[in-house]
Amino acid sequence: MPRHIDRPDPAGEHPRGDLGQVILFVIFMVLWIADSFFLNYTDFISKTISLFIRIPLSIITLV
């Protein structure tokens, strides 16, 4: 049985794990807002690939 009492962080999480998640969230939001309102780069997928191809690919990806 492992002993976690001697560890400085009993939960086993990295000390800067939450900060990394916040930074990645901010990067995601900046890129998403820039693409949605200014760049419109990802709109070409819905215009060029049929819905009958996108739905099965989405289901496969989620499974």
Kindly state the DSSP code that residue 8 receives in the 8-state scheme. S
| pLDDT tens for each residue of 11-35 | 666 777 788 899 999 999 999 999 8
Provide DSSP, 32-54. Answer: HHHIIIII--TTHHHHHS-HHHH
Mean pLDDT score, 36-45: 77
pLDDT at 1 over 60: no
pTM over 0.85, yes/no = no
How many residues belong to the chain? 63
pLDDT value of position 5: 63
For residue 33 the two structure tokens come to 């807002």
In whole numbers, what is the pLDDT of the chain averaged over residues? Answer: 81
pLDDT value of position 49: 81
